[in-house]
Every structure is written in C-alpha cells, then in structure tokens.
Amino acid sequence: MSAARSVAVATFVMAALLACQPERKTMPSVMFGKAEDELISAEYDLDDIQSAGELIAVTLSGPETYYEYRGQGFGLQYTMAEAFARSVGARLRMEIVSDSAELFSYLAAGEADLIALEVDSNRLEAFAGSAADSLDASFEATKPQWIVRSNSSELAEAINRWWKDDTRQRFLAMENERHSKSQQRRVQTRPPMLSRQKGIISSYDDLFIRHASRIGWDWRLLAAQCYQESGFDPRAVSWAGAQGLMQIMPSTASRLGLSRSDVYSPEHNIDAAARYLVILEDAFSDIRSRQERINFVLAAYNGGAGHVRDAMALAQKNGHNPHRWSEVDPYILCLSQPQYYRDPIVKYGYLRGSETSGYVRQIQSRWASYRGAAPSHHSSSSAAVEGSSKPSRVKPRSAYITDSLLIQ
C-alpha cells in the first residue's frame, strides 16, 4: 500500500492497490437483460476514447445533472458532457451512481473516463482523505470542475481547451429554456371529440380501430392516449423531440423501423405506437391483471419502463403491492425526490414523476368519457382489454421488432 504524495493544485493521490480492475457496465435493459461488459484499462486516455468512439462519464442522478425522459438524456451536466464528447469525435455514454464514493470508484477502476459533476477542490480533498484505504488512484480537476484520472493528461488538456469562460452560462441558458418549454401546456387546437352525438372521436378513428384491434386494445383507449400525447395534431413536436400523433421519440422510431419521412404520417405513427405498446406489454407481463397492466404500460410509454420498475421496487420495499397501480403511483411521484431517486435499489434515477402520474390519470379519465360516448365497434378488442390476461395480436412479438430495443 503506497502513501499519499503531494501533487499540483487539483491532483490528489490515494493509497492501496486495487485487487483487480472491475469491468465497465452498461445500464441494464428492463426487457432484454444486461449487455456484454467490456474490460477496460485504467490507463485509458483521449486517443483510446477516440479509437473506441465512446466517452463514458459518471454522475449523480438529478434534474440539474442527468435524467432520462423517453430514452433521451437531459440535465446540465449531461448536455455539457455530450457536447464535449462530440468535440473530440466520440459519442457519450452516461452512467449514474448513488453517491460520491461510487463516482470516484468508477473513475479509479476505469469504468468511466470522467466525473461529470462540478466537484470543488475542498470536496475532492475531503474525499481523498476518506478513501485513502480503498483506492489507488490520483485525480485531477479540469476547468468545469470535472474530475479525470491524473494519468489521463490528454483528456484533461482537451477538456480545458474546450471549456471557455462563458461555456457553463451558455449551456445553463439552454437548459433553462428547455425547462421553460416543458412547463408550457400545449394549446389544444382540436376538440377532444368531433361529434359526441355521432360517437366520432377524431378523424383518425378508423386507424385507432384497426391498430387497437390488432394488439387487443380498446380503440377508445388508444384515442385517449393520442389526445393526451398530441391533441390529435399529426405535426406535433414536444420539447423533448417526440414527434407525431403518438409522440414517438426519434431513437424509438429508429428502432421500430419508423423512418423520418413517415414519422408524421398518421398511419405509420399509430402503427409504430401500437408495436411499441406490444413491447411494453411484454415488458410487464408479470402483472397478470390486464386492467392493472394497462396503467403500467401507459406510465412506461410516458416515463420509461426502467423508471416504472424503480417505482415498483420502492413500493415493494415499503410493503406495498408492486403489481397494483394505486400502490405504485405514489412512488412514481417520489422519484422526483433525492431520498428516493438515489435509493440503492433505484437504477434509473430521477423522474419527472408528477407528469407520468398525471399522464396515466388523465388518459384513464378520458378513456372513461370516450367509452360513454363512442361505440366499441369491435367488441372483441374491448373484451380483451377488460378480461384477457394476455393481448391477442396477429403477429408474434418477434415479428414486430428483432433488435434489442431499450425502452426508457
């Protein structure tokens, strides 16, 4: 075990030889299991990152650091790290951990290239003293107060060159503008029903009937979800980049085979959403009650299956039924609070829980209203939602999608 040595201003050394080098890990998919781990050396520097084409940053989950919404990363630290990664010709992979000790452990073990969190020198010194018995690594703070290993000198230099005096302010302004847009309510330009007297919900009713029948859903539920997503506006684009009638994110559209040229087509957009719902239903097949499962599927469509699984784990931890939505919904709301989204059992971190909770509630309410005004058209699809424990569909799941779609 070596002793700590004195170093330049922002470099701190810790003692004790690591018995082995842990492997880098990817975020687990809630549907398809863990991806292959890749062994990585702690000697990694900028040229290795560029050769691999991937920069791995580690941070704490939170609205100002990093969170996921519909599979897309957000947060100031994420946005800055992604921009830096692009500047050196690499894509960004962001890992989240639950506490400061894990941040430094990831970096020391070579599981990450930098800590994307503004760590001041006092905090770094305090950590260096407390971790002296467990880590053998030295760390250096860069201009944005990110931390890299001292032997990643090329990476540190690249960060310092990229960072300008106004960099943080520019990215903070972008995040504030995005947050402001996310708080604005969409101005609904179309009525929730075209004709209550005639039982016509929208001009897309035929599409809802056809695609809902194919997956065993009540078409009026699909219509209620569509209204919640876009207000029946086929050209709608959300603050997060979701597109079309069913507000499908570009990354999800790509994996579902929905091309950019077709994303605003009502036919193709609703078809892709139906296929997405099939995948989500399979992801929550452990919830035997179809009626209950619908709530979880809707929540996952909005907030991500990983976040919903986190809320289920918190519910179970606190003595509640993880397969009953009324007992999981409060923990969806709790995922916006640090004491919950940094709980060790939570894998996907911060969630805008009030939005996801409200999304499910409002769709259920509108669905009830539509059922009282519009005919079922296909009684078999309505019965499937109300009584079946498994959706009926024309094609098996494998026929819809074959690659490992990570639902977030």
Same domain, 173 and 200: no
> Is 231 contained in some domain?
yes
pTM: 0.71
Rounded CA-CA distance 321/346 in Å is 17
Same domain, 118 and 237: no
Same domain, 42 and 149: yes
Last residue of a domain, one of 180, 203, 230: 180
Let me know if 229 is a catalytic residue: yes
Same domain, 225 and 131: no
Same domain, 207 and 310: yes
Which of the residues 82, 95, 111, 229 is marked catalytic? 229
> Is 371 contained in some domain?
yes
Q: Which domain holds residue 319?
A: 193-400
CATH number at residue 331: 1.10.530.10
Same domain, 244 and 205: yes
Q: For the chain, what is the domain count? A: 2
Same domain, 36 and 60: yes
Question: Which one, of 37, 71, 70, 69, lies nearest residue 56 by Cα?
Answer: 37
Same domain, 111 and 234: no
CATH number at residue 165: 3.40.190.10
Could you list the pLDDT tens digit for every one of the 408 residues in the chain? 433 333 333 333 232 222 233 333 334 333 333 334 444 455 779 999 999 999 999 999 998 899 988 778 889 999 999 999 999 999 999 998 888 888 888 888 889 999 999 877 777 776 655 554 556 667 888 888 899 998 899 999 999 999 998 888 888 887 777 666 555 545 455 788 889 889 999 999 999 999 999 999 999 999 999 999 999 999 998 888 899 999 999 989 999 999 999 999 999 999 999 999 999 999 999 999 999 999 999 999 999 999 999 999 999 999 999 999 999 999 999 999 999 999 999 999 999 999 999 999 999 999 999 999 899 874 433 333 433 434 433 333 333 333 333 333
> Is 339 contained in some domain?
yes
Same domain, 203 and 176: no
Number of C-beta neighbours around residue 298 at 10 A: 26
Same domain, 336 and 245: yes
Same domain, 231 and 126: no
